[in-house]
Structure 1
């Protein structure tokens, strides 16, 4: 299917390495038996949300950045998980980008505010649809229910916001943190902000 004007959201990059053999194999596997872009995208979303451990929730290393690293180690912060979801979707010829929220940190570790990474997926029937595969827990519940968004977090407090835009590549601050630090706790202590 032709996606005019959406080519940048289909390309492989060093971080969203949708041309990596392991990523393309997993993308094919997740698309098998699914009919249409919504069904394929839902399968990819559920896999990343449920089968890839959130680094902070599970206190898991190593720190991952690229989609192929996240897939190999089955762990990643929200940003890294969004990189894998984007890569799986792109490998299935579904345009996918990255979105960010600025959230208040209610924990005891890390900065007062931090960025949270999620995805925007181009669905032929609905257009851009935001989805958050960070992983559910008792206080976090995200689903893939287009056209209705069901995100992990909704910015409400002063200083919190949905950042404007859909990005084809991760923000440099995100890449910097996930490249610079080698331990999940170091990442948490130095989460990026805008």
Structure 2
């Protein structure tokens, strides 16, 4: 694969702290140091951060919220759980704190194996604005998807996404038994910061406000 190393000025937006990607927060900086302090190679730093966010921040679809503060990286780190967008925000913050340019990506996906309880509530198998990342390594933007932790993957018999710093790491199309699992439907592009308002608007337009409230209530009742 050809690489074109971008000028540092072009990468600046992907290293900056924002309200959501608060890579300058003391907790984020401390966690990044702990994860990468003994490592020298940037690629290995990115891999260590990816594995931490994938596995130690447990995937919880009921962590959805319409409150901006629930999407700040330091809050997600403290809670130790999140859904795809929240985990992507945290990965971006930790990578930026370690000096690794990282940005967000959004896509619409179809999950052909949505758990029954969630499918009943959502009334669809389409997940709008699925959040994941792109990490800049060796002159290339590589996709990284830290959404599903390995414990959940073992339980559901799906392969965890592995990021090695050499190639894109996205969902497998099929689960271990050969059944169709994740289908990418639409790419929204890449973002230097979380487009919070646009995401909430998209959710309201496609899921409806009643379902959104059910989603929030489910999280408050069973997952805090």
TM category (shorter chain) comes to 0.7 to 0.9
The more displaced of 83-92 and 32-41 is: 32-41
Aligned to 2:164: 145
- Going from structure 1 to structure 2, the CA distance change for 1:11 and 1:143 (only over 3 Å counts) comes to same
**Matched residue SS, 1:23:** helix
Find the counterpart in structure 2 of residue 168 from structure 1.
Answer: 192
Q: How far off is 1:60 after superposition?
A: 5.9
Q: How many equivalent residue pairs?
A: 182
- Match of 1:102, SS? strand
Shift of 1:7: 0.4
**Change over 3 Å in CA distance of 1:116–1:60 after alignment to 2:** closer
Provide the C-alpha distance between the structure 2 equivalents of 1:148 and 1:71, rounded to a whole number of angstroms: 26
Partners in 2 of 1:95 and 1:184 — Cα distance?
36
2:72 alignment partner in structure 1: 66
Once the two structures are superposed, the pairs formed by residues 1-194 of structure 1 within 5 Å of their partners are 3-56=8-61, 64-106=70-112, 107=114, 108=119, 109-110=121-122, 112=124, 113=126, 114-123=128-137, 125-136=138-149, 137=153, 138-154=157-173, 160-171=184-195, 172-174=197-199, 185-186=215-216
Q: 5+ residue gaps in structure 2?
A: 1-6, 175-179, 204-208, 220-224
Worse overlay, 14-23 or 146-155 = 146-155
Determine if contact 2:47/2:165 at 8 Å carries over to the other structure. Answer: no
Q: Secondary structure at the match of 1:5?
A: helix
Indicate the SS of the match to 1:93: coil
**TM-score with structure 1 setting the length:** 0.79
Structure showing greater Rg: 2
Q: Distance in 2 between matches of 1:142 and 1:88?
A: 19
Unaligned runs of 5+ in 1: 190-194
Cα distance change of structure 1 residues 184 and 79 upon mapping to structure 2, 3 Å threshold: farther
- The CA deviation at 1:110 is 1.6
Contact 1:101–1:160 (8 Å) recurs in 2? yes
C-alpha contact (below 8 Å) 2:63/2:83 kept by paired residues: no
